[in-house]
Amino acid sequence: RINQFPLVILNSAINLKQNYVISYLLKLADELNSFYEKEIIIKGEPKEIRYKLIFIYYLKNILELGFHLLNIKPKKELHYPMS
């Protein structure tokens, strides 16, 4: 799915459909969340940890670029009310 980002942006621009980018980013965020739930990021061989961190960093950059193209400013932190 990661390598589809340029094509999604191109199709979105050609067809004037922001929802292509939004749907792609939602699916990508869901996959990142699933990966993060299954993997212990800082556990394993140093090379494996490095690959996991690079993968997460790459996904973060794609999400940030997608938000920028949609003129969305994501919050850096979420604050939940205390019950």
Per-residue pLDDT of the chain (83 residues; tens, 9 = 90+): 788 999 999 999 999 999 999 999 999 999 989 988 898 888 889 999 999 999 999 999 999 999 999 999 877 776 667 66
- 51 token code pair: 């690959």
Whether 49 and 41 have beta carbons less than 8 Å apart is answered as yes
Distance between CA atoms of 46 and 49, rounded to whole angstroms? 5
Whether 54 and 20 have beta carbons less than 8 Å apart is answered as no
Q: pTM for this structure? A: 0.80
Region class of 80: left (phi > 0), else alpha (psi between -120 and 50), else beta: beta
